[in-house]
Amino acid sequence: MILVSPFLYSGGNCPACGGKVVWNKLRIPGIHVMGEATCTLCHTEWLLDLPVGHSLHFPVHLKKEDGKIIADKRIRWYSEPLALGWSHPDTSPLIPQYIVHKSYSEIILLNCLDYLYGHVLLKLLNASGYLREQPNKGLIVLIPQGFEWLVPDGVAECWVVPRKLSELKKWNIELENSLLNRLNTYAKVYLGMAYSHPNFEEINIQEYTRVKPFDLSAYFDLPLHLCFIWREDRLWLGNSWQERIHHYSRILKLKWIEKIGIIYSRSRYIKCIKKLQKNIPGIKITIIGLGKKNLFPKDVEDLCQLSLDPHTEKKWCEVYAQSHLVIGIHGSNMLLPTAHSAGFVELLPSDRQGNMTQDIASTLQGKTAWYLGRFVEATLSPQKLANIITEMLHHYPHFESTSRKDSQVWKEIKSVLIKSRGAYPDTEYIFDENSSVSLSENQ
Ligand SMILES: [Zn+2]
């Protein structure tokens, strides 16, 4: 946490000469939280990112004199909106909705604003850590509208910005002034770190969605259920050429080429689904995601929607929580599905290898995580993907019986051995926490 009110921050150096800077004032352009700072050597005046959120790894600095940005080239998505916001600020009226549950004099501000869905969600998932570890400070989450339903109980205040995600690229002057005035009313304000990749092993997703994730101990009690995740802006294509054509058709806004890609991608999903239905008769299959409805076979449960709302998203989570596997292409679309399902298969594009696991919220560990979490090439054929899924499901009972200490099979073996002790009075059965069973002769 960083103390920002009173604003006594003293870290950082001048991006131009490396000299010490003097910090003057807190600024909140929206996604970024920054400070005005002046270099004590070259006297350049800056807006410097405070080290929270994505700025922990990729800080962005703005020279006030000419609006020049200093930032890593890999994060143009993060630096360019800031530069544009400085040169062309949004002056439209915008006041957040301040929802107060409990008043505190010392607060932690968790800024979850972003124009990308996954980024907002990942930053919001930092909340439970502060609620647990800082009970004497009030936690305030600053979020875009549409995410209120995911805010966990126990938060002191929820500040909701009534704008679409795409609008949050802008630097809104009235929003900034309103936030800064509001922060001035507290004795102390700390800035939450808003880690962009929180540790999922420490996160209970049920605190956010109020949906209980799949219970692995009940794996065999539920009818086999697969959930495919659909999105029309990231497609399952057959080779790298098709991927390139799709990529450039989006950049050049060639809608008719995009449309052909969507139809082709959908046909691959359908081929895979039909193969699975043949391999595993009676298996339940659901398709969920943003897109047109009723374009999949009628024996597939189609829960696609053209736009997202809290009711729909919660309903989707309830389906993920009933799914033995969720299957989809890499992206933030996999966060909530993998947080709730038993396992997953992700189609990972070659240019996303470096982002592997960033969108996976599963809390499985050890061998179970390896077995129930698979990454495959994004150009894999529908038949091969269907075969991988079939094999995973077919062999899971054997995996479970040999590798999981809480497996039903081991419980039954223990039960049988305990019952048979009378028949073998000289034999002692030792059960340890790892579920290994050893037999030893009594001396
Ligand atoms: Zn300097």
Map tokens 């990749």 to a residue: 197
Range of the domain at 38: 2-87
CA of 7 to the centre of ligand 1 (A): 21
Whether 224 maps to a domain, the answer reads yes
What's the whole-number average pLDDT of the chain?
A: 90
User: Which phi and psi (to 5°) does residue 343 adopt?
Assistant: -150, -175
What is the pLDDT at residue 129?
A: 94
Of 65, 87, 109, the residue that ends a domain is 87
Q: Are residues 252 and 382 in the same domain?
A: yes
Reply yes or no on whether the pLDDT at 442 is more than 60.
Answer: no
CA of 63 to the centre of ligand 1 (A): 11
Helices (H), 280-333: 310-320
Reply yes or no on whether the pLDDT at 422 is more than 80.
Answer: no
CA of 59 to the centre of ligand 1 (A): 17
CA of 195 to the centre of ligand 1 (A): 29
DSSP assignment string, 178-203: HHHHHHTTSSEEEE----SS--GGG-
Q: Are residues 82 and 173 in the same domain?
A: no
What's the pLDDT tens digit per position in 86-109? 999 999 999 999 999 999 999 999
Higher pLDDT, 381 or 11: 381
CA of 50 to the centre of ligand 1 (A): 17
CA of 70 to the centre of ligand 1 (A): 13
Q: Are residues 422 and 322 in the same domain?
A: no
Give the CATH number of the domain where residue 393 resides: 3.40.50.2000
Whether 237 maps to a domain, the answer reads yes
CA of 17 to the centre of ligand 1 (A): 4
Sign of CA dihedral 350, 351, 355, 360: negative
CA of 85 to the centre of ligand 1 (A): 24
Which residues lie below 8 Å from residue 84, measured CB to CB, with a gap of 6+? 169, 170, 171
Q: Are residues 235 and 347 in the same domain?
A: yes
Burial environment of residue 144 by CB neighbours within 10 A (0 to 12, 13 to 18, 19 or more): buried
Beta strands 157-161 and 284-290, pairing class: unpaired
What's the pLDDT tens digit per position in 42-67? 999 999 999 999 999 999 999 999 99
Whether 402 maps to a domain, the answer reads no
Cα 384 to Cα 4, 59, 400: the distances in Å are 54, 42, 24
Reply yes or no on whether the pLDDT at 293 is more than 60.
Answer: yes
Whether 333 maps to a domain, the answer reads yes
CA of 8 to the centre of ligand 1 (A): 20
Which of 316, 315, 351 minimizes the C-alpha distance to 330?
A: 351
Q: Are residues 213 and 353 in the same domain?
A: yes
The answer to whether 223 and 253 are in contact (CB under 8 A) is: no
236 backbone φψ class: left, alpha, beta (φ>0; ψ -120 to 50): beta
CA of 37 to the centre of ligand 1 (A): 10
Output helix, strand, coil percentages for the chain, rounded to the nearest 5. Answer: 40, 25, 40
What's the pLDDT tens digit per position in 180-206? 999 999 999 999 999 999 988 889 999
What is the pLDDT at residue 443?
A: 38
d(CA 126, CA 139): 11
Strand ranges (E), 93-250: 97-100, 106-111, 138-144, 157-161, 188-191, 225-231
The answer to whether 360 and 122 are in contact (CB under 8 A) is: no
What is the pLDDT at residue 244?
A: 84
Q: Are residues 279 and 356 in the same domain?
A: yes
- Number of domain units in the chain: 4
Sheet holding 325-329, edge to edge: 301-302, 284-290, 225-231, 325-329, 343-348, 373-377
Residues found in the chain:
443
pLDDT category, 273, cuts 50, 70, 90?
A: very high
Whether 403 maps to a domain, the answer reads no
pLDDT category, 441, cuts 50, 70, 90?
A: very low
Q: Are residues 245 and 325 in the same domain?
A: yes
Reply yes or no on whether the pLDDT at 403 is more than 80.
Answer: no
Cα separation of the two ends of the chain: 60
Which residues lie below 8 Å from residue 375, measured CB to CB, with a gap of 6+? 345, 346, 348, 356
Q: Are residues 212 and 357 in the same domain?
A: yes
CA of 134 to the centre of ligand 1 (A): 37
CA of 33 to the centre of ligand 1 (A): 21
Q: What is the mean pLDDT of residues 208-217?
A: 95
CA of 12 to the centre of ligand 1 (A): 11
What is the pLDDT at residue 247?
A: 82
**Which residues fall inside 5 Å of ion ligand 1, going by CB?**
14, 16-17, 19, 39, 41-42, 44
User: Which two tokens mark 207?
Assistant: 């605190």
What's the pLDDT tens digit per position in 119-140? 999 999 999 999 999 999 999 9
Q: What is the mean pLDDT of residues 149-175?
A: 96
What is the pLDDT at residue 413?
A: 60
CA of 73 to the centre of ligand 1 (A): 22
CA of 86 to the centre of ligand 1 (A): 21
Of 178, 204, 230, the residue that ends a domain is 204
Interior angle at CA 374, CA 228 and CA 240, nearest 5: 75
Q: Are residues 282 and 312 in the same domain?
A: yes
Reply yes or no on whether the pLDDT at 416 is more than 70.
Answer: no
Lowest mean pLDDT among 150-154, 213-217, 241-245: 241-245
Q: Are residues 126 and 231 in the same domain?
A: no
What is the pLDDT at residue 406?
A: 66
Q: Are residues 142 and 221 in the same domain?
A: no
Map tokens 């630097």 to a residue: 171
Reply yes or no on whether the pLDDT at 288 is more than 50.
Answer: yes
CA of 22 to the centre of ligand 1 (A): 11
Strand ranges (E), 274-381: 284-290, 301-302, 325-329, 343-348, 373-377
Which residues lie below 8 Å from residue 17, measured CB to CB, with a gap of 6+? 39, 41, 42, 44
Q: Are residues 238 and 379 in the same domain?
A: yes
The answer to whether 336 and 209 are in contact (CB under 8 A) is: yes
Whether 294 maps to a domain, the answer reads yes
Q: What is the mean pLDDT of residues 259-288?
A: 94
Beta-carbon count within 10 A of 319 CB: 20
Of 378, 397, 416, the residue that ends a domain is 397
d(CA 68, CA 433): 60
pLDDT category, 402, cuts 50, 70, 90?
A: confident
Give the pTM.
0.87
What is the pLDDT at residue 435?
A: 47
d(CA 60, CA 67): 12
What is the pLDDT at residue 437?
A: 46
Whether 92 maps to a domain, the answer reads no
CA of 66 to the centre of ligand 1 (A): 15
CA of 68 to the centre of ligand 1 (A): 14
CA of 46 to the centre of ligand 1 (A): 9
